[in-house]
Structure 1
Amino acid sequence: MTITQPDLSVFETLESEVRSYCRGWPTVFDRAQGSRMYDEDGHEYLDFFAGAGSLNYGHNNPVLKRALLDYLERDGVTHGLDMSTTAKRAFLESFQNLILRPRDLPYKVMFPGPTGTNAVESALKLARKVKGREAIVSFTNAFHGMSLGSLAVTGNAFKRAGAGIPLVHGTPMPFDHYLDGKVPDFLWFERLLEDQGSGLNKPAAVIVETVQGEGGINVARAEWLRALQDLCHRQDMLLIVDDIQMGCGRTGAFFSFEEAGITPDIVTVSKSISGYGLPMALTLFKPELDVWEPGEHNGTFRGNNPAFVTAAAALQTYWTDGSAMEKQTRARGEQVEQTLVALVDEHRADIVEYRGRGLVWGIEFRDKERAGLVARRAFELGLLIETSGPQGEVVKLLPALTITAEELDEGLRTLTRAVRETA
């Protein structure tokens, strides 16, 4: 693909140096539809990024767009704080009937604010309020958000350093596979809990991702998650599952923890819950944990009614028969895995391993710089992919769940070419 030098001057002179994605994709995007994005010069890019997982149903999904336009054209409420609105009611009823009730999940629904870190902050606050304790246990290579409470349970040293103050009341434990199976699961954690001289304050809760996205696509085994839930129950700790990036069907089932057969005490959801890339987040918790006083946690933009509209439309379109969505995601995942098996076989000296579930996959390279080179070459070839892992050593694949088999194959061919041409 031949790309003319775009005019980036206003971004470079006016926008903060904190910008990041635009550095890896130096063009000016103009429009998007489905799994395709187009820059202002008309160049086409196949999107294996999906808004960092916030566009599970693709860009400008026509069904969701129609619902949104109809709502706006009739002057539906846009900003509602936590007022009762018809849009919120339609979402809550759809969520209860299509997601919670079929899975026998008893959760109350809280709207904590528009982003994932809002959901995490409220989950941590609630756990501390319920248990009357401050400590939270998280896991190595975890990522839970960029506000201070979320950073305190995030593992990445670079992101933690940005806080500028000590991050306290969080204790990391080894994630699944972190010690390569040399130590029994939770041996260290349980020993600290039982030893009065360990120095570990009794935790209020444990927060975990079933698949660590930003941490490098680290997949927890179902048996590890079940053992973690059992440990939390025995030690009087709440289990929080952060499903912000891996929920809404990303791993197959609507919630990523369903395969393990567990029922977390608290679940955080964001990114693709609106279905259209509109800001929206949920904190779900068991009814007995609903000890909030009115207004004790709030936020000006927790009632994003246009997001409620597209969220309800997404649930009604894709999750009325959830098994169909799940089967398609798993089939697409098998298609990705077949390519990654061949890729690893071809580049055994360069690739440590591939790993993933559903439609989230990662390729870890031995040379920590290689993933970035692959992502850069993929962009030049018309494919958008990002990197993850503590040193950016993992190429991360996160296509829309609605991507066609042909589009997926096209992107995988481009990925294969990018790996070969950076060898």
Structure 2
Amino acid sequence: MRIFENLESEVRGYIRSFPTIFKKAKGAILTDEQGVDYIDFFAGAGTLNYGHNNEHISKALIEYLQEDGIVHGLDMATVAKKEFLQTFESHILKPRNLEYKIQFTGPTGTNAVETALKLARLVKGRSNIIAFTNGYHGLSQGSLAVTGNNEYRDESYISRTNATFMPFDGYFGDMNTLSYFRKFLSDGSSGVDLPAAVILETIQGEGGINVASKEWLQELEAICREFDILLIIDDIQVGNGRSGDFFSFEFAGINPDMVTLSKSIGGGLPMAILLFKPHLDQWKPGEHTGTFRGNNLAFVASKVSLEQYWQNDNISKAVKYKEKILKDYLEKIASKYKDDYEIEVRGRGLAYGFEIKNDSSMASDLSSYSFQEQLIVETCGSLGQVVKFLPPLLIDEELLLEGLKRFEKAVDKLIVERKNNLKGEF
């Protein structure tokens, strides 16, 4: 690991959590230089919904390159882009009765968020944006301004301009936080300027797997319509099937004005897009541009993944089936230690969190202990207090259960060690 310590910036992160050198990967398995296999419950922070080196995607990419297909084309028309657009419309938009224009932004999620914020302000002629407590939308300056998670905020570089935070669903327990939001909008002297848009995740990934209810999302949409505010859903981490539906907002029956997509939309390759209702397409040609807006290899990968997995609802059914396995097993572990620890299991689809509420320091240790058991899980939340589970959607049941058994071993070992340490203090 010395080469990374000597040459790579101190900003490196995941390498510290998983201190080995990985050599290859397939499906839900990562293999290091020593040939040790690790079960991957992280999936590239939600980028690898279809697994590592998906055989359908890899085959299509190899064939495309062998045929000298366009790799870089700015925003020019290419066969790869044409086929992606056709497939996305036929497999995703039309079956859901959604009418959106598609804008290809820079290749990462924060590029899509920046584009959404810029367009919303352009269309509405208003600059304020409403975001929510513990939300995460990216680390470029505009996206960071609407990111509440204090893990990523610092007074020296954060922009506080034109962003107002409101409490997410459940932030005050049983209180309806949208009544609070409505009061600020209704009172012209509240100090909160009428926003151009509201931006949120329906499941806050980095924020701690906080899940918005169907009723809360429906009421939020109604407020946006009443006050002429655009509704932006950030589906970068929990879209692309992670929630069980392709879009995480489908279960609530709402129709956002804009949707940001990245991570798994590129089939494992860098790509980000902004969806928006046609009447919002008020850009002048070239008004928002970039060198890598539209990755032709990602178009190929995405087209294949959409054709392979979204022609019917089989993958949605599979995710919901595996959700029950994941949830039940985590709740079984929580129940085992309920006399000593207050453990909360929460999530939707294959995005789940495991939080030991009376000891926030344990999540980081659980990630480390899981790694010792050859399981990769990360933490999330404002204090890193939640263990986050994001296995590939295609993981088979046997491997999912094996990974959960390894996590249970990690929990058992950590709790036994904690108890032994406490005994040693007396």
Short-chain TM bin = over 0.9
What do residues 54-76 of structure 1 show as CA deviations (whole Å, max 9, x unaligned)?
00000000000000000001110
Deviation at 1:392, TM superposition (A): 0.5
Does the CA contact (< 8 Å) of 2:144 and 2:159 recur in 1?
Answer: no
Instruction: Tell me, in whole angstroms, the C-alpha distance in 2 between the residues paired with 1:14 and 1:56.
Output: 31
CA contact (8 A) 1:151 1:167 kept: no
Shift of the 232–335 alpha-carbon distance from structure 1 to 2, 3 Å rule, reads same
Q: Give the Cα separation in 2 of the matches to 1:112 and 1:301.
A: 8
CA distance in 1, matches of 2:33, 2:290: 36
Moved over 4 A (4+): none
CA shift, 1:165, in A, is: 4.6
Equivalent in the alignment of 1:106:
99
| Native 8 Å contact 2:168 2:177 kept in 1 | no
2:139 to 134, 140, 146: 146
Gapped regions of structure 2 (runs ≥ 5): 416-426
- 2:110 aligned with 1:117: yes
Aligned partner (choices 240, 252, 268) of residue 244 of structure 2: 252
- Map of 1:395 onto structure 2: 387
AA partner of residue 203 (structure 1)? P
Separation in structure 1 between the aligned mates of residue 83 and residue 156 of structure 2, nearest angstrom: 39
Q: Which residue of 1 aligns with 2:288?
A: 297
Aligned to 2:39: 46
3-state secondary structure, aligned to 1:396: strand
Match of 1:173 in 2: 166
Against the structure 1 CA distance between its residues 238 and 338, is the aligned structure 2 distance closer, same or farther, given a 3 Å change threshold? Answer: same
Partner of 1:61: 54
State the Cα distance separating 1:238 from its structure 2 match.
0.2
- Given that residues 192 and 198 in structure 1 are in contact (C-alpha distance below 8 angstroms), is that contact kept between their aligned partners in structure 2? yes
Gaps of 5+ in 1: 1-7
Taking structure 1 as the reference length, the TM-score comes to: 0.96
SS at match of 2:289: coil
Distance verdict in 2 for CA 1:162–1:381, change over 3 Å: farther
- Structure 1: how far apart are the matches of 2:281 and 2:84? 20
Q: How big is the alpha-carbon RMSD for the aligned residues of Structure 1 and Structure 2?
A: 0.9
Does structure 2 retain, via aligned residues, the 8 Å contact 1:148–1:167? Answer: no
Quote how far apart the aligned CAs of 1:222 are: 0.5
Q: Per-residue deviation at 1:340?
A: 1.3
Distance change (3 Å), C-alpha of 1:158 and 1:356: closer
Asked if the contact 2:171/2:177 (under 8 Å) is kept, the reply is no
* Alignment match of 1:340 (pick from 305, 323, 330): 330
1:22-57 superposed Cα distances (whole Å, 9 cap, x missing partner): 001110000000000000111110000000000000
Give, in whole Å, the separation in 2 of the partners of 1:129 and 1:34.
Answer: 42
TM-score norm. by structure 2 comes to 0.96
2:214 pairs with 1:222: yes
- % same residue: 52
Distance 1:170 1:327, change over 3 A: same
Q: Which amino acid aligns with 2:323?
A: G
Match of 2:121 in 1: 128
User: In structure 1, the residue corresponding to 2:151 is in which secondary structure?
Assistant: helix
Q: Is contact 2:346-2:353 (8 Å) kept?
A: yes
For residue 112 of structure 1, report the CA deviation from its aligned partner: 0.9
Provide the rounded CA distance (Å) in 2 between the counterparts of 1:91 and 1:167.
Answer: 38
In the alignment, structure 1 residue 282 sits paired with structure 2 residue 273: yes
Measured after TM superposition, the shift of residue 166 of structure 1 is 3.4
1:240 to 228, 232, 243: 232
The equivalent of 1:327 in structure 2 is 317
For 1:379, the aligned partner's letter is F
In the aligned structure 2, how far is the partner of 1:418 from the partner of 1:192?
46
Letter in 2 for 1:285: F
Q: Are 1:22 and 2:22 counterparts? A: no
Partners of 2:113 and 2:137 within 8 A in 1 = yes
Alpha-carbon distance, 1:161 to partner: 0.9
* Structure 1 SS opposite 2:245: coil
Q: How many pairs are equivalent?
A: 413
User: For 1:373 and 1:30, how far apart are their aligned partners in 2?
Assistant: 25
Distance 2:160 2:60 in 1: 43
Kindly state the Cα deviation for residue 163 of structure 1 after the two structures are TM-superposed: 6.1
* AA matched with 2:291: T
Q: 2:154 aligns with which of 146, 157, 161?
A: 161
Q: Report if the CA contact (8 A) 2:123-2:282 is conserved.
A: yes
